Amino acid sequence: MQKAHQTHSFAEFTLDLTRGCLFRGKEEIRLRPKSFEVLRYLVENHSRLISKDELIQAVWVDTAVTDDSVVQCLKDIRRALSDETQRIIKTVPRRGYIFDREVRINAVSPAVTTYTEETGVQFIIEEEETNGHGDAETRRLGDAGLRQRGDVILLPPAQSKNGHFIAAIKQHKWTAALGALTLAVAASAIVYFTRPGEAIDSVAVMPFVNVNGDPNTEYLSDGISDSVINNLSQLPDLKKVISFNSALRYKGKQSDPQVVGRELGVRAVLMGRLVQHGDELSISTELVDVRDNRRLWGGQYNRKLADITAVQTEIAREISEKLRLRLTGEEKQRLTKRYTESGEAYQLYTMGRFFSRKRTKEGWEKGIDHFERAIEKDPNYALAYVGLARVYSNLGFTGLLPPKEARQKEEWAALKALEIDDTLAEAHLAMSHLRELDLNWSAAEAEAKRAQDLNPNSVDVYATANSHLYAFGRFDEAMKNLNRAQELDPLSPNIYADMGLLLYFASQFEQAIERFQKALELDPNFAPAHTRLGWVYLTKGMHEEAIAEQKKAIEVEDPTGRWRRTAMLGHIYAVAGKRDEAQKILDDLKELAKQRSVSPLNFAMIHIGLGDKDQAFTYLEKTYQERPDALQFLKVSWLFDSLRSDPRFDDLLRRMKLV
């Protein structure tokens, strides 16, 4: 029986196992016999770590051989593959080798195959049946659903478990038909293994596992995941790249990729592990197609800590290839873009991100320290300036810095980032917020749109740049952005809370309540959801429920922000007729204002609840002079309804440029 003619293809190379040849395109590349056998074994076991001992036992059977023979063969192979940088065959120090390329297997055979794992088709040839007139009837030929009618073998689109299809073949002799059938089976295998395949357009990058378990290096495993997500999110052919915030909810859990894929609504999941020994890093990755739990690719990277920036871009590039994305030259550059060449600067920036995500006074202070140190290492590190801009924005909003000081520092950092890199979506997003502070609503919208164009898979550009839409009651447009944000960050309580706020402004109270409750399912201690749910209850006249929600918000809020929740409780007390409780909170806020910055809007809200319009407008005017963007919801929020008939309210709307 004649053996199958089999080839293995990878990148631009073809390994002809039948003829014992290696080709680059049509050009034959000569290899010594043992080098060919080493390459063959590595290719047949691609994506798996092969130890040196295993390789020796497989290639030099019953033959004494030294390690030098293996090393020499690998040198020959790498020279033949132009793989001096170990992009195809990676050496894992003291452990072995990994052939790190996707392999396509092609086979043509004249022999009948009853079952193969490759094709997933089983053929059971049945006895010939006739219709009583000597003519063959249509009859079953095998498990793949084949049929024969007369001398025609019909191979309908019977789909195997791996998703390929078999064509129709005509023969005049049954024996010839068997041969043709076999060829059809082999041809179907060729179709399966060589088809380019559909592009995978959605992916989730899980937080890399910190194998060492050292909390002092946790920033590094998180940072690599975050950076890979940021690189991939800039590719327009990827319809969904799950945000780091949603992926972070799986941190520390043993998660089944198929379960993760179903929960996040993606087709592929990347998992990774990181081991650090001094300044040596070992990173392993695995990309899984969650439809059938099939491993698409696995990578192993052994680098110095100083080379960490190169690793993240290499991982992103490899993923894009395995997802079968067709990238333009510009998109390839964007994917592999390095924002700094300094490994030290990158580590400091990653630490800054790690600390500032905690959203506490201490976390923001540590964030500033690390971002500034990153800039010292690389003064042209645009992302570090964006990190500073974000922190100063948060410090100004929470009152931990005086508003004018926070704004000046935020604008300086954002402008510096844009000066260095005008294509940085995060910098344009920061500028959008600054233009809102200036009440330049059209410029804010333009900057937000620019950020969306530059990074179509960034949750931030859809979730945080909607204030200009809220302010003018453009609720449909804002909800479209939030729906997109929710696709990218499906486990975010913040996005559900923002959806609820939008529905509250649009007077859709029951739907707003549903969104707030969904946010609290995801995080029972999410203070903004409790506060906003209290607003809806207050508007519906459910005073006790409103008070309970606001008290819960105060209880779960970080101590640095509790006073803002307390001021809103004062407003609710006042509307509910509990004037003594409201006055007590008002007095406490006045004492607090002697020690730190307290937005005048908080005093205004309590006076609105008490029905003291003159005092309310006094504090609203102070708010306008100090930080006018705090009044961005003046036109749409139910909390200001009792003031709308006053001419002073119309004047304030006009100066806010909301008319």
DSSP string, 363-417: HHHHHHHHHHHHHHH-TT-HHHHHHHHHHHHHHHHHTSS-HHHHHHHHHHHHHHH
Segment 594-642, tens digit of pLDDT? 888 888 999 999 999 999 999 999 999 999 998 898 999 999 999 999 9
Give the single-character DSSP code of 130.
B
Q: Domain boundary residue among 288, 316, 338?
A: 338
Number of domains forming the structure of the chain: 3
Tokens 């004047």: give the residue.
651
* CATH number of the domain where residue 81 is located: 1.10.10.10
Q: How far apart are CA 346 and CA 377, in angstroms?
A: 9
**Amino acid 179: pLDDT:** 41
Domain membership flag for residue 175: yes
**Amino acid 310: pLDDT:** 80
H helix runs in 107-232, sequence order:
174-194, 218-232
Q: Domain boundary residue among 88, 104, 120?
A: 104
Pair 73, 90 in one domain: yes
Q: Rounded to the nearest 10 degrees, what angle do helices 527-539 and 562-575 cross at?
A: 10
Pair 143, 218 in one domain: no
Q: How far apart are CA 126 and CA 146, in angstroms?
A: 11
Q: With H, G, I as helix, E, B as strand and everything else as coil, classify residue 219.
A: helix
Domain membership flag for residue 583: no
Pair 120, 98 in one domain: no
Q: How far apart are CA 208 and CA 218, in angstroms?
A: 9
Pair 37, 9 in one domain: yes
Give 452-464 as a 3 state SS string.
HHHCCCCHHHHHC
* CATH number of the domain where residue 329 is located: 3.40.50.10610
**In contact, 216 and 196? CB cutoff 8 Å:** no
Pair 219, 334 in one domain: yes
Half-sphere exposure of 323 (CA within 13 A, CB side): 28
Pair 209, 246 in one domain: yes
Domain membership flag for residue 250: yes
**Amino acid 62: pLDDT:** 56
Domain membership flag for residue 249: yes
**What are the residues whose beta carbons fall under 8 Å from the beta carbon of 193, sequence distance 6 or more?**
104, 105, 106, 118
Pair 214, 189 in one domain: no
**What are the residues whose beta carbons fall under 8 Å from the beta carbon of 350, sequence distance 6 or more?**
219, 220, 222, 223, 226, 227
Point out which residues pair with 166 in neighbouring strands.
none
| Residue (of 544, 461, 466, 450) closest to 498 by Cα position | 466
Torsion (CA) 53, 58, 62, 65 in degrees, nearest 10: -50
Residues of the chain with pLDDT under 70: 1-5, 61-66, 107-198
Q: How many CB atoms lie within 10 A of CB 70?
A: 19
**What are the residues whose beta carbons fall under 8 Å from the beta carbon of 22, sequence distance 6 or more?**
13, 14, 15, 16, 28, 29, 30, 31, 36, 39, 80
Give me 339's structure tokens: 């924002």
Pair 333, 215 in one domain: yes
Domain membership flag for residue 293: yes
Give the single-character DSSP code of 116.
-
**In contact, 354 and 222? CB cutoff 8 Å:** yes
The residue length of the chain stands at 659
Domain membership flag for residue 82: yes
Pair 69, 176 in one domain: no
| Residue (of 190, 140, 184, 145) closest to 166 by Cα position | 184
Boundaries of domain holding 282: 202-338
**Amino acid 170: pLDDT:** 35
Q: How far apart are CA 185 and CA 506, in angstroms?
A: 61
| Residue (of 256, 228, 458) closest to 320 by Cα position | 228
Domain membership flag for residue 95: yes
Q: How far apart are CA 89 and CA 9, in angstroms?
A: 15
Q: Domain boundary residue among 77, 104, 131?
A: 104
Pair 261, 328 in one domain: yes
DSSP assignment of 474-515: -HHHHHHHHHHHHHHSTT-HHHHHHHHHHHHHTT-HHHHHHH
Rounded to a whole number, what is the distance in angstroms from the first to the last CA of the chain? Answer: 86
Pair 210, 313 in one domain: yes
**In contact, 411 and 396? CB cutoff 8 Å:** no
**Amino acid 314: pLDDT:** 82
Tokens 């770590």: give the residue.
49
| Residue (of 316, 199, 197, 203) closest to 266 by Cα position | 203
Q: How far apart are CA 45 and CA 54, in angstroms?
A: 11
Half-sphere exposure of 211 (CA within 13 A, CB side): 12
Pair 90, 190 in one domain: no
Domain membership flag for residue 581: no
**In contact, 595 and 618? CB cutoff 8 Å:** no
CA distances from 223 to 263, 309, 355, 467, 508 (A): 23, 10, 11, 29, 40
